[in-house]
């Protein structure tokens, strides 16, 4: 079995799983309880908070745990907009964001905010000059993803942050770092809000986090407790938070090694584009994230190729898992290219993947793509 769908979710590492299971056996108490068992559970949350904060050079007090990246993005966008709506109603994003961002901006539009959506070029980059011209004194929020989840384009977050603050120092900059966290350097110095997820780095599903810079106001979306300073009330997912802390610790320690490893895997798989006719790499083939490779195969539907590969126990995707079951959705690739979205397949990697696996997938593509093209009506 070859699993190349790690941008959707990663396999939980044995080390993280063992750590979480041991914690579940010994520290099952509610971390808000006043007795010693509750205190021990709370200590694990504090430990994980420090680990996550250290990974992005933040203060632990600026880290809030959530159920994942989607909740974190919803809270960041809706919470900031409502907190600052008296200051202005212009909000800005781009057209290749994750559905948890784009749908949040649609909700803001329904609430009467002025939503500006920036287009990207054929490699997935925004025009920073256009961004600068769009930010004005009424702009309260900008959301730009760091590493795109479908094509792997890496935005220049530092330049974007400085551009926004140069036009309007009071504008809040939020960046979805779900696909970047623990894979690429993430520095809280160049963002006001950063959103993260655990199951993209070999941790448990249902865990995520937000970095909120001191002084930035975010209205809470949930009510009923004082956990996470009231921003995210409710009994903490202590087991998941413990797993997240351990996964971050391991990933940060091995980030450079993992980066080099997955780059070799990606480069090996890109040979399919050299050996087959009419194959296009979507995104930036040279400067994009090594963790994601998106290719379109002319005259072959992405979903058809996905199932052909699945028959050989090779697992890939055609786009974001969070929008895969939405009928007639417009694909991210179509926002960057002319009509290549339907033919796109996303291959995404983890540190457990190997060059040998990539070579096997190339062999499968060399066999299946010409075969599937025979059935295209002429």
Q: Which residues are catalytic?
A: 322
Element (H, E) at 302: helix 302-310
Residues facing residue 213 across a β-bridge: none
Torsional sign, CA 86, 163, 144, 227: negative
> What are the angstrom distances between the C-alpha of 75 and each of 24, 27, 273, 343?
28, 29, 40, 34
Contacts 24+ apart (CB under 8 A), 86-90: 87/138, 87/140, 87/170, 88/137, 88/138, 88/139, 88/140, 89/113, 89/114, 89/138, 89/140, 90/114, 90/116, 90/136, 90/138, 90/139, 90/140
SS3 content of the chain, % helix, strand, coil (to 5): 45, 15, 40
Cβ neighbours of 14 (radius 10 Å): 9
Residues facing residue 184 across a β-bridge: 181
Cα 140–146–147 angle (5° rounding)? 150
DSSP structure string for 155-206:
--HHHHHHHHHHH-TT-EEEEE-TTTBTTB---GGG-SEEEEESTTTTS-TT
Residue 191 φ/ψ, nearest 5 degrees: -160, 155
193-197 and 208-212 beta bridge pairing: antiparallel
């Amino acid at each position: 079995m070859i699993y190349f769908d790690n941008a959707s979710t990663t396999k939980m590492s044995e080390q993280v799983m063992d750590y979480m299971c041991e914690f579940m056996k010994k520290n099952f108490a509610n971390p808000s309880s006043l007795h010693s068992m509750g205190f021990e559970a709370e200590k694990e949350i504090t430990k994980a908070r420090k680990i996550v904060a250290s990974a992005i050079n933040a203060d632990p007090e600026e880290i809030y745990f959530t159920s994942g990246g989607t909740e974190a993005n919803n809270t960041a966008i809706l919470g900031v907009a409502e907190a600052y709506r008296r200051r202005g109603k212009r909000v800005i994003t781009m057209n290749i964001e994750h559905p948890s961002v784009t749908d949040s901006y649609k909700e803001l539009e329904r609430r009467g905010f002025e939503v500006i959506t920036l287009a990207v070029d054929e490699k997935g980059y925004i025009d920073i000059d256009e961004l600068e011209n769009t930010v004005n004194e009424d702009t309260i929020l900008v959301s730009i993803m760091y590493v795109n989840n479908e094509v792997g384009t890496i935005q220049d977050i530092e330049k974007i942050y400085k551009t926004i603050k140069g036009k309007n120092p009071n504008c809040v900059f939020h960046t979805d770092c779900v696909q970047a966290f623990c894979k690429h350097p993430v520095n809280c110095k160049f963002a006001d809000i950063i959103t993260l997820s655990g199951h993209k780095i070999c941790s448990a599903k249902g865990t995520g986090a937000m970095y909120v810079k001191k002084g930035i106001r975010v209205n809470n979306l949930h009510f009923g407790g004082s956990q996470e300073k009231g921003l995210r009330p409710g009994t903490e997912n202590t087991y998941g938070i413990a797993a997240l802390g351990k996964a971050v610790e391991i990933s940060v320690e091995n980030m450079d090694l993992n980066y080099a490893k997955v780059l070799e895997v990606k480069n090996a798989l890109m040979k399919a584009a050299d050996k087959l006719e009419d194959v296009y790499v979507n995104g930036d083939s040279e400067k994009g994230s090594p963790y994601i490779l998106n290719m379109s195969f002319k005259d072959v539907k992405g979903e058809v190729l996905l199932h052909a590969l699945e028959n050989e126990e090779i697992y890939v995707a055609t786009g974001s898992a969070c929008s895969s079951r939405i009928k007639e959705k417009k694909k991210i690739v179509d926002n960057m290219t002319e009509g290549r979205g339907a033919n796109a397949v996303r291959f995404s990697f983890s540190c457990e993947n190997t060059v040998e696996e990539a070579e096997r997938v190339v062999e499968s593509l060399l066999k299946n793509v010409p075969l599937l093209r025979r059935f295209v009506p002429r």
